[in-house]
Amino acid sequence: MYSYFKHVFLLSLFLLSSTHICAGEVLEEIVVTAGLRDSKLMKSAGSISVLNEQTVKDRAAHHFEDTINVLPNVSFSGGGTRARFVQIRGVGDLEQFVDPKHFPSVGITIDGIEIGTTAGGALLMDVAQIEVLRGPQGTAFGANALAGIINIQTEEPTDSPSAQIETGYSNFDSWHVGAKVNGPLSDSVGARLAIQQNKSDGYYRNSFVGRENTNKRDELSFRGKLKWSGNDDAELTLITAYSDLDGGYDAFSLDNVRTTISDNPGNDKQETLSLALKGSWPVLKGLTLETMLSWINSDEDYAFDEDWVFSGFCDGIRCDPLFEFSSTDSLIRERDVFALDFRLKSDPGSFSWVAGIYAQKRDEDLQRQHFVAFSNDYETGRYALYAQLQWELSEDWNLTTGFRYEHFEDDYVDSNNLITNSSDGYWSGQLNLEYFYSDNTLFYATLSRSVKPGGVNTDTSSNFPIVDPMFQTFLLSRQAFSAETLFNKEVGLKSRFFDDRLSLSLSLFHMNQSKAQLESFIFDASSFVFTSFLDSTSDAENYGLELELNYRLNSRAAFFAHLGYLETSVDELNLFELDTSQFISRRDRDQAKSPKWQYNLGLNMDFNERLHGRIEIEGRDDSFFGYYHNGKIDGYTLAHASLSYDLGRFTIQGWVRNIFDKDFEIHGLYFANDPRDGFAINRSYYQFGEPRVYGVNVSYTF
């Protein structure tokens, strides 16, 4: 790690020496839109990060996973072409196979529209900013934001016409091309359209099938907005979005290298169409009605080669043909979601309030082809009432309280004749106390609570007849999992110093998970069957801090630093440990995908009015990637840089990520999968993140 710091430090000194030292300039004011009210970032209680459009461009990011390492105490799980699930403060999903997951612990929305149950669709096209709210956001989002929410806000139509085309090329035969057009259609109607195509061979090669692109990315996305602005601040916006993501999934090898030998490379595909109608209507003096209707249809096709080798691999030399094993797993999902959200808002004042109703209907069908064919149909309904009240107790003190009651019901049926239904109610809430020590300094304390519904572990039911009898009693006790409750206590400071040149945000938090829904597995070596399930038999505790600092050194250079520290502990989890081949009780275990520390720091530099650069390093500690073993994902440190030159209407950017070509892991599996040792030795197998990637982007604005 020292060598990384040394190289980056020396380069930073050189770049700083090239800038013009001038009087300092203030940092820009940022507005957060993800809550029930828009609010200024530095005057909002809670641990909130906002990444602006410039950060996205500087990192040459096309997907949320390309920016995630900037954020303290935020991680993601691989397991596909793109990041599939996100974790905040150690809480979040890791995998998905048979069981439906309508309620990821970390919700992801684009312009307020839920994009689905995985992060694969979080493309950054025509993005204005990315907002990350840590901790329970149950008042505004209910069951979809147990650990936090990520809102990707795209650009709005404007009064001034504009258009832009952009293209770029990088190694691994990666390229993209996109265009956007914006402007008024009349005095009251504006429109904005954006389209983008990304393609890449990916970072693996398959020597058996002779292809470089079995982990390809082929991503087409389109977004359109039509906005009507009437008298008295009335607005109506129609949003439509389409994405067609055709990715490969061929990321694991027996020797943990980037060359695979599978004969049935998998895929990670997703096609999504969404429509939304957002409105804002003044109904009485000081009172506004906001409405949101949305519909989203998503088709997912997820498949992989389980054995990672080709038929005939065991030829009597590499391994005994008796150990020949061949299997694939294919899961095809179709999901329809309809939601409505109506809320009344009073104008801001010494006392203000928001009250609303929410309803959502989901229907998901699964077709799985594994050892045998399996299918299920899962329908859910959510209905909620919520309210938020804000008081200005005095000139310096504010109090905010929120409450949400959510009714949840579902119906499930599968091809194994398992039929279930449930109906329950849950409540979430928050209490924020804010003290404005000065115009530039906010101290806050917050209590927040959110709940994620329970359900049925259908994989335990489907695998029950084929596993060894020693596992059957245990699986029977894990056929259902309970609702999970997360209670968060947090204090923090937000302040600006040195004539607004320095901004500082510090949050200290402590979270309790009651009946934490922890993802666990049982591997039956006799039948070579993995059974995945959510285990809610234990509580968990997480605490730590987030620190974000931005300092405008002068008019040409700005320094940034983001730090996350996290301690996690699972009270007690009963499981079958692979290495000892026995049932054990594991106590005080770190949660999976929960590195103790994360950091990101660097410099943004304007060498002159045309030339802009960014250099940064990021790193994190190691972390467990499961509970039924002690395998870990190693910690790492990475360095990135970019340089942009403005030629009037043209902008040219050169960029590089992972400058020193560090191998780092984004996902892990642990079991015996090597026929060369007769499937006798458990090992860690890894999916690697991107190696050194570099390229050039060119855009033209007119």
Residue 27 DSSP SS3: coil
Task: Compute the average pLDDT of residues 165-180.
Answer: 97
Q: What is the pLDDT of residues 341-383, one digit of tens each?
A: 999 999 999 999 999 999 999 999 999 988 888 898 999 999 9
pLDDT, residue 465, reads 81
pLDDT, residue 19, reads 45
Q: What is the pLDDT of residues 534-580, one digit of tens each?
A: 999 999 999 999 999 999 999 899 999 999 999 999 999 999 988 88
Residue found under tokens 């009693």? 473
Task: Compute the average pLDDT of residues 478-497.
Answer: 94
pLDDT, residue 25, reads 58
Residue found under tokens 């599968």? 414
pLDDT, residue 24, reads 44
* Buried residues in 395-430 as b, exposed as e (16+ CB within 10 A): eeebebbbbbebebebebebebeeebeeeeebbbbb
Q: For residue 8, is pLDDT > 70?
A: no
Q: For residue 212, is pLDDT > 90?
A: yes
Q: For residue 219, is pLDDT > 70?
A: yes
pLDDT, residue 525, reads 78
Q: What is the pTM of this model?
A: 0.92
Q: For residue 99, is pLDDT > 80?
A: no
Task: Compute the average pLDDT of residues 61-73.
Answer: 92
Q: CA-based diameter of the chain, in Å?
A: 84
Q: Tokens for 233, please give them.
A: 């601040």
Give the separation between CA 575 and CA 572, rounded to whole angstroms.
10
Q: What is the DSSP letter of 152?
A: E
Which of 19, 8, 21 is closest to 612 using CA atoms? 19
Q: List, as one string, the DSSP characters of 34-62.
A: SSSS-EEGGGS-S-EEEEEHHHHHHTT-S
Q: What is the pLDDT of residues 116-164, one digit of tens each?
A: 777 778 888 999 999 999 999 999 998 889 999 999 999 999 999 999 9
Q: For residue 13, is pLDDT > 50?
A: no
Q: For residue 510, is pLDDT > 90?
A: yes
Q: What is the pLDDT of residues 632-677, one digit of tens each?
A: 999 999 999 999 999 989 999 999 999 999 999 999 999 899 999 9
Task: Compute the average pLDDT of residues 400-404.
Answer: 97
Q: For residue 14, is pLDDT > 70?
A: no
Tell me which of 23 and 499 has the higher pLDDT.
Answer: 499
Looking at every residue in the chain, the average pLDDT score rounds to 91
Task: Compute the average pLDDT of residues 199-223.
Answer: 96
Return the percentage of the chain with pLDDT > 90, whole number.
Answer: 73
Task: Compute the average pLDDT of residues 301-315.
Answer: 94
Give the separation between CA 224 and CA 242, rounded to whole angstroms.
9
2-701 maps to CATH 2.40.240.10 = no
Q: For residue 18, is pLDDT > 50?
A: no
CA distances from 613 to 13, 55, 607, 659 (A): 13, 11, 8, 15
Strand partners, 366: 333, 376
Angle, CA of 136, 91 and 37, to the nearest 5°: 25
Q: For residue 418, is pLDDT > 90?
A: no
Whether the Cβ atoms of residue 263 and residue 305 lie closer than 8 Å to each other: yes
pLDDT, residue 12, reads 46
> What phi-psi label fits residue 412: left (phi over 0), alpha (psi between -120 and 50 degrees) or beta?
beta
